[in-house]
A and B are shown apart, each in its own frame.
Chain A
Amino acid sequence: MTWLALAVIAASTGVARADDTPAPTAKTEAEISSIAERFAKEAPETPDFRMHVSPLLGKVGCNGRACHGSFQGRGNFRLSLFGFDFKMDHDNLTKGDNPRVDLESPEESLILQKATLAIPHKGGERFAKDSWQYRVLLKWAQTGADGLSADREQDAVKLQITPSELHFSKTGEQATLKVVAHWQSGRVEDVTALCRFQSNNEQVATLSESLITSAEPGSTHIVVSYDNAVVPVLVVRPVSDKLGDKYPMVATPTRIDELVVNRLKQLGIVPSDVAGDAEFLRRVSLDLAGTLPAPTEVEAFLSDTSSDKRQRKVNELLERPSYAAWWTTKLCDITGNNDQQLNNVGYNRSTQQWYDWIQHRVVENMPYDKLVEGIVLAKSREEGESYADYCKEMSEFMHKGTDTNFSERDGLTYYWARRNYRSANERALGFAYTFLGIRIQCAECHKHPFDQWTQDDYKQFSGFFDPSRIRYGQFPAAKKEADEMLGALGIEPKKSNGGDVRRALQKAVTDGKIIPTEELFVTAAQPERPANKNAKNKGKKPDLRAASAKTAKLLGGEVVKVSALADPRTALMDWLRQKDNPYFARAFVNRVWANYFNVGIVNPTDDMSLANPPSNAPLLDYLAAGFVEHNYDMKWLHREICNSRTYQLSWVPNETNKLDETNFSRAVPRRLPAEIAYDAIYQATCTDEEIASRQTDVSRRAISVAGTQNRGKQGTSGYALTVFGRSVRESNCDCDRSAEASLLQTIYLQNDDEVLRNIERRGGWIDQMAKAAGMTLTGEPDAKQSALAKQKAMAKQEETNKQAAALMQKGKGDVSKLDKATVERQIVVFEKQLAKATEDKNEKRVNRLTTVLESLRTRQSQLAQATDKPAAELAVTEAPKAEAQPEVKPEAPKFDSAKVVRLAYLRTLSRPPTDTEVERSTRFIHEAADPVAGLKGLLWALVNTKEFIINH
């Protein structure tokens, strides 16, 4: 089946080149002209069912979904949907009570009469009498209406399309594609009239059959399909006149940059400028490690003047626990770590164990293929391990206070234990989604016209996943042993209901007992049972045990004799590892790329089909090949991407790239993913110490939530994660995670209790700032402190009053014994009293007070000379009212607004504020009821800016 591989190659290069060599076959024959020309009049040749008749029926619409392709058929006539079940189609055309082809009198054939409306046809006229289509079908009927001939079964077709790329320069410009098929037999034929054509973006190119018309500037693909080959043809129309010599000099320091700019040059798109340091740091921290940079980190990075600081930052981030946590979460997304699907597997520990298992490997940077091998070839028991030992080991993972760790086991067995991963079909779909990034759903029921997979491909691929051979459950031979273990624990499954048994087992295992444990095991192929001809068995129940599949076929690859394999999955793993596997490395590389650039090189990232070609094929090829060459080193891949100039471009667009979101000419603003958004809100509102501790300990962060339920994990909100679209991991689709914005998200950020509580909570950053300024969270002077201060002040006041009274009494007060503080206090007291006495015109009292004041001042100057202490250090005391109850005014807050505003910006937007922002923010703080309320408002506003929730 070489032609499948060829079709794949054509897709991966994005272009079917005119100079491609045809399939390596027998001698190439001279090109045969188009069937439309050959049958423009009567022709002597016999049309072939597979090459001509079947595609023609598709072309005129007979096998469409609304017509005879419907699974019910139409008018008692059914064709396979989009036609690839040649046998059924041929049978339905030529056999049965009312065959559509009349071999006796071919012109009476229903396929001719109905399609030309000679007799009524609900599907209307499909072609005219004596058209070339009519002649082809008539001739086929006249010559015996043969079906698929046995020797043609292995026919291979490769499509050669001219021109191989379409370059337009103005709206309305047209070009016609010509499609030539090369069959393995050597036959070369113009099949343009029998092909299906589709434009992947009608805004760029519209089409009518093979005539392509340019619409708007941009690029897209025209997808051409015939038989089982699907070939995309690139269409390019530049968006500006910056082409050739007019294209500005653009630096391309890395291979990625070269490949991206090559493409941009074709389109006349100029990349944006390189992003500033703060923008880069924020972006790379969020993308690579799922975390906002710490405020101190921002300051340090901005003041670092070395030229390699970006590279060093990338390396540093790769070593953080948060890198491992975030990428483990992404791997849990695509492998489907889901609580509902693992209900009753592993006593509610399975999703956590799943997460830990992957995290362990991401931390040690295990090569991706090795990590996948641990999943694909997972088995519960080691070679020779007894059931009892296995149960012991598994139980110990769940003992209270255990120090054993599931992640040290070789295999991630739970992958195979999910409820939605039990049947061969489900497994084939899920495996293709997770490890190959392709969708084979359609092929379960029919071949899709613009995808290569046939029902047969799907069915044969499912053969690797036979649930009778790869099973998760109670190992039959150990059933007795398991029952005995239950008996020893006093659990009797037959006498109690399932829920009680589970609870009893859960308790037993937590308490340190050993419990029987289900396992993933692989059995030998079930041989085909000889038909039972023994007379005495007649009438007995038939043997329902079906024989295992003998063979299975890799998608686009070889047929494997699985019955001879101890574990059919080994063939799958070998295939994934083959250097020329077109999907395995590409799927991963593409998903990682999409994490950094908003869209994949193939997008959607789980639809790597021929009809959905990469926007930049050489780029995807380069990354995939490099990934394999570097031994599937995940960190190499992250480094390669993050160190490229392309990744480090600014989001600020220019005239040429403002509408480009698919060619990587700038950073595309995108909403923070759910877990990262939740952690970012928390980090923006917690203390600097907590920010630091959350960098090293990720256990309380949303990026380390294991499954799809929260299980009461501390510090993470299931509600927020749901609203922001955390992956539900249930339908084999990367769209299980949502990046869309919504009103409910904004309502959450603006007004949800959770966010407001985070901002205002005791122990949070604002609390810390308030305390430092001697205030409480409600903006009042700190209550405890002020009560104490009040007591002290009252005592002091009392003493002062006494002293003052003494000083007024002649002879009783001796200023020479007073200390400096007391003197100062008394001066204040007497100045006040003097002022009042002057006002009252009490001359006697004025004289007396003046005398005392003078002696106090003399004492004060003596004291000042006696000590070296500067006057500024003297504590300033409040002016107590002489007669009234002393009142303590709050101290003016030690609140440096400008400094606090800067800190608030660093912890939210990861950059220092501009002067305007400082001015507006400090004004807000000053105008607020109190500085703490002002700061709350500022932090709220910053968390609600678009700049906060958008990664840019």
Chain B
Amino acid sequence: MLHTNCEGTTRRDFLKAGALGTAGFTLAGYLRGLEAGEVAATAPAKAAIFVNLNGGPSHMDTFDLKPNAPEDHRGEFKPIETNVAGIQISEHLPNLAKCMDKFVILRGVSHTLAAHDLGTDYVNCGNRPIRSLDFPSYGSVVTKERPGAPDLPPFVSIPNSRQKPGYLGVQYATMNTGATPKFGQPFSVRGIKLNNGVTVSDVEKRQSLLSDLDKTFKGFEANSQLVEGLDRFSQQAYSVITSPRAREAFDISKESPAFAEKFGKRDFGMSCMLACRLVESGVRFVTVTLGGWDTHADCFNVLKSQRLPTLDEGLAGLFNGLAEKGLLETTAVYVTGEFGRTPKVNPRVGRDHYPRAMFMLLAGGGVKGGRVLGASDEKGTGPEGKGFSPDDVAASYYKMLGIPHTLEYQTNTGRPVMVVRDGQPIPELFV
């Protein structure tokens, strides 16, 4: 289910990347990217999962409690011990407490964009948004650098996501499942399996005809992201349709009951299980969205009755599920909202937007779990010391995936832009 935040839903706040200039992306460029993928083959993580907590969850009520802060700050929830000595999280996250050893909490992450859209764009690409250029999100960069199996969509969002291809072009856009898997029901994406009676050889003949007839825009790919994107989708669709792998990957009913049990029965848990299954099948990048965190009023009731139990069950399922399948080491998981929430509880018993202090979680990808890095100050109003920026976390996430954050792309006007313009990997993560 999608949640509308206090500013309404999707808005397109940026002007499209510049209109005039020279150079551009071509399929040849993409193929060169394939080769670049070989460099990355030595990286710890082969795949990635991004969990977007849409609306901005409060750090004070989840992973960064301040039991000693004044009452109007610390809120109603109490900390509990985890399976790692010395680390405490909210009492409403008991399952996550039991698998604390599998992930890292980053505290004192801080930025300055307190609007949903700007914040969301920021944490989804690791670059502070500017008006004149749309940056590509993680999923688009990862699938460009590490294209993955041709018969699977490389980048899947359950059910959709805010990750945009930006200046890389629509060909690196995600495939939205459009729907959320439901407990106890088979799941499939329409159109990915071959019809009864149609053979692969039929499809091949048709495809060969198609490629011979589809010549009108040949030679103009560089001038139109649409034309170039459609070419790429056409190749992808063909591979996905003709192989049984994709439909197997989406069918969560194939998981054993024993495995499925840990994900609970809620949609978010089912989405996490699907993410797990997709990664196991060879999908490179999966996003899962859990909204409803924009708790301006009555936040404690909302959190303890709905949001936290849902998050706790699904996310613990994801970490444990990946570990059980032996995938945690090779999958980089990143969990974040667009900002934290005000340390001081407002008169409506809610907390408002607060980018100066927030939490993020990282797991897998060769990063040792069971740790807390960074800290916020006594009342959770800002980072203790320098803190981390979303750019730093982005650089770290790319490092987990073997992609140097200094990797440079050219926009369609030939402007060179680094994947992460302003961040550095967090050294402590990688010890």
State the Cβ distance, B388 to closest chain A Cβ, in Å.
Answer: 16
Residue of A267, A747, A917 touching B241 (CB-CB under 8 A): A747
A163 close to chain B: CB less than 8 A? no
Which residues B378-431 have CB closer than 8 A to chain A?
Answer: 382, 411-415
Contact residues in B for A72 (Cβ distance below 8 Å): 342, 344, 352, 354
Residue of A735, A742, A752, A937 touching B173 (CB-CB under 8 A): A742
Residue of B113, B130, B176, B189 touching A742 (CB-CB under 8 A): B176
Q: Give the CA-CA distance A653 to B227 in the complex, in Å.
A: 14
Residue of B114, B130, B226 touching A671 (CB-CB under 8 A): B226
A65 touches B113 (CB 8 A): yes
Residue of A64, A204, A736 touching B18 (CB-CB under 8 A): A204
B7 touches A741 (CB 8 A): no
Q: Number of B residues contacting the other chain (C-beta, 8 Å)? A: 70
A743 touches B213 (CB 8 A): no
B217 touches A202 (CB 8 A): no
A945 touches B344 (CB 8 A): no
Q: A751-B241, A946-B227 are in contact. Are A940 and B206 (CB under 8 A)?
A: yes
Q: Give the CA-CA distance A800 to B178 in the complex, in Å.
A: 68
B214 close to chain A: CB less than 8 A? yes
Residue of B12, B18, B230, B233 touching A216 (CB-CB under 8 A): B18
Q: Give the CA-CA distance A651 to B113 in the complex, in Å.
A: 40
Complex interface bits, A913-952 against B, C-beta within 8 A gives 1, otherwise 0: 0000100110010011000000001101110111101101
B230 touches A746 (CB 8 A): yes
A70 touches B114 (CB 8 A): yes
Contact residues in B for A920 (Cβ distance below 8 Å): 209, 212-213
Contact residues in B for A813 (Cβ distance below 8 Å): none
Q: A72-B344, A741-B229, A921-B213 are in contact. Are A217 and B15 (CB under 8 A)?
A: no
A855 close to chain B: CB less than 8 A? no
B192 touches A747 (CB 8 A): yes
B8 close to chain A: CB less than 8 A? yes
A941 touches B230 (CB 8 A): no
Complex interface bits, A642-681 against B, C-beta within 8 A gives 1, otherwise 0: 0000000000110000111111000011110000000000
State the Cβ distance, B218 to closest chain A Cβ, in Å.
Answer: 10
Q: Give the CA-CA distance A736 to B12 in the complex, in Å.
A: 10
B216 close to chain A: CB less than 8 A? yes
B238 close to chain A: CB less than 8 A? yes
Contact residues in B for A198 (Cβ distance below 8 Å): 131
- Smallest CB-CB separation from B112: which chain A residue? A66
Contact residues in A for B173 (Cβ distance below 8 Å): 740-743
Complex interface bits, A742-784 against B, C-beta within 8 A gives 1, otherwise 0: 1111111011110010000000000000000000000000000
Which residues B202-224 have CB closer than 8 A to chain A?
Answer: 202, 205-206, 209-210, 212-214, 216-217, 220, 223-224
B8 touches A950 (CB 8 A): no
Q: A937-B206, A946-B227 are in contact. Are A203 and B133 (CB under 8 A)?
A: yes
A753 touches B195 (CB 8 A): yes
Contact residues in B for A219 (Cβ distance below 8 Å): 20
Contact residues in B for A652 (Cβ distance below 8 Å): 220
Q: A203-B17, A660-B19, A753-B195 are in contact. Are A735 and B12 (CB under 8 A)?
A: yes
- Smallest CB-CB separation from B346: which chain A residue? A72
Most buried by B among A201, A670, A947: A201
- Smallest CB-CB separation from B234: which chain A residue? A746
B191 touches A65 (CB 8 A): no
- Smallest CB-CB separation from B155: which chain A residue? A743
B153 touches A743 (CB 8 A): yes
Residue of B9, B130, B178 touching A723 (CB-CB under 8 A): B178
A218 touches B21 (CB 8 A): yes
State the Cβ distance, A527 to closest chain B Cβ, in Å.
Answer: 31
B19 touches A662 (CB 8 A): yes
Q: Give the CA-CA distance A785 to B117 in the complex, in Å.
A: 65
Complex interface bits, A810-851 against B, C-beta within 8 A gives 1, otherwise 0: 000000000000000000000000000000000000000000
Contact residues in A for B355 (Cβ distance below 8 Å): 66
Which residues A608-652 have CB closer than 8 A to chain B?
Answer: 612, 652
- Smallest CB-CB separation from B114: which chain A residue? A65
Q: Give the CA-CA distance A695 to B346 in the complex, in Å.
A: 59
Contact residues in A for B176 (Cβ distance below 8 Å): 742, 744
Q: Give the CA-CA distance A201 to B16 in the complex, in Å.
A: 9
- Smallest CB-CB separation from B22: which chain A residue? A659
A669 touches B352 (CB 8 A): no
A944 touches B233 (CB 8 A): no
B237 touches A216 (CB 8 A): no
Residue of A200, A659, A917 touching B20 (CB-CB under 8 A): A659
Contact residues in A for B342 (Cβ distance below 8 Å): 72
User: Interface SS of chain B: helix, strand, loop or mixed?
Assistant: loop
Contact residues in B for A199 (Cβ distance below 8 Å): 132
State the Cβ distance, B10 to closest chain A Cβ, in Å.
Answer: 6
Which residues A482-515 have CB closer than 8 A to chain B?
Answer: none
B234 touches A735 (CB 8 A): no
A239 close to chain B: CB less than 8 A? yes
State the Cβ distance, B220 to closest chain A Cβ, in Å.
Answer: 7
Q: A239-B20, A945-B214 are in contact. Are A202 and B8 (CB under 8 A)?
A: no
A731 touches B233 (CB 8 A): no
A730 close to chain B: CB less than 8 A? yes
Contact residues in B for A952 (Cβ distance below 8 Å): 216-217
A732 close to chain B: CB less than 8 A? yes
State the Cβ distance, A333 to closest chain B Cβ, in Å.
Answer: 15
State the Cβ distance, A441 to closest chain B Cβ, in Å.
Answer: 7
B20 touches A216 (CB 8 A): yes
Q: Give the CA-CA distance A743 to B172 in the complex, in Å.
A: 9
Q: A740-B170, A745-B233 are in contact. Are A659 and B190 (CB under 8 A)?
A: no
Residue of B10, B15, B209 touching A941 (CB-CB under 8 A): B209
Contact residues in B for A659 (Cβ distance below 8 Å): 19-22, 223, 412-413
Q: Give the CA-CA distance A146 to B230 in the complex, in Å.
A: 62
A99 close to chain B: CB less than 8 A? no
B209 touches A741 (CB 8 A): no
Most buried by A among B19, B190, B202, B214: B19
B209 touches A217 (CB 8 A): no
B112 touches A201 (CB 8 A): no
State the Cβ distance, A951 to closest chain B Cβ, in Å.
Answer: 10
A669 touches B18 (CB 8 A): no
B348 close to chain A: CB less than 8 A? no
B194 close to chain A: CB less than 8 A? yes
Complex interface bits, A192-219 against B, C-beta within 8 A gives 1, otherwise 0: 0000001111111000000000001111
Residue of A204, A267, A653 touching B223 (CB-CB under 8 A): A653
B236 close to chain A: CB less than 8 A? yes
Q: A658-B223, A744-B189, A920-B209 are in contact. Are A203 and B230 (CB under 8 A)?
A: no
Contact residues in A for B356 (Cβ distance below 8 Å): 66
Q: Give the CA-CA distance A1 to B411 in the complex, in Å.
A: 44
- Smallest CB-CB separation from A928: which chain B residue? B205
State the Cβ distance, A916 to closest chain B Cβ, in Å.
Answer: 9
Contact residues in B for A731 (Cβ distance below 8 Å): 8-11
Contact residues in B for A2 (Cβ distance below 8 Å): none
A441 touches B233 (CB 8 A): no
Contact residues in B for A744 (Cβ distance below 8 Å): 175-176, 178, 189, 191
B227 touches A669 (CB 8 A): yes
B131 touches A200 (CB 8 A): yes
Complex interface bits, B23-42 against A, C-beta within 8 A gives 1, otherwise 0: 00000000000000000000
For this complex, 16 residue pairs linking A to B, each with C-beta atoms less than 8 Å apart, are A70-B114, A201-B15, A202-B132, A202-B133, A203-B133, A441-B8, A603-B15, A658-B223, A669-B226, A744-B175, A746-B237, A747-B241, A751-B192, A944-B214, A945-B214, A947-B214
Interface residues of A (CB under 8 A from B): 64-66, 70-72, 122, 198-204, 216-220, 239, 267, 441, 603-604, 612, 652-653, 658-663, 668-671, 719, 722-723, 730-733, 735-736, 740-748, 750-753, 756, 917, 920-921, 924, 927-928, 937-938, 940-942, 944-947, 949-950, 952
8 residue pairs, one from A and one from B, having the closest CB atoms: A66-B112, A218-B20, A203-B18, A746-B233, A752-B191, A941-B210, A746-B237, A735-B12
Given known contacts A220-B18, A756-B195, what 11 new A-B pairs fall within 8 Å (CB)?
A: A65-B113, A201-B132, A218-B19, A604-B12, A659-B21, A735-B11, A752-B190, A920-B209, A941-B210, A945-B210, A946-B217
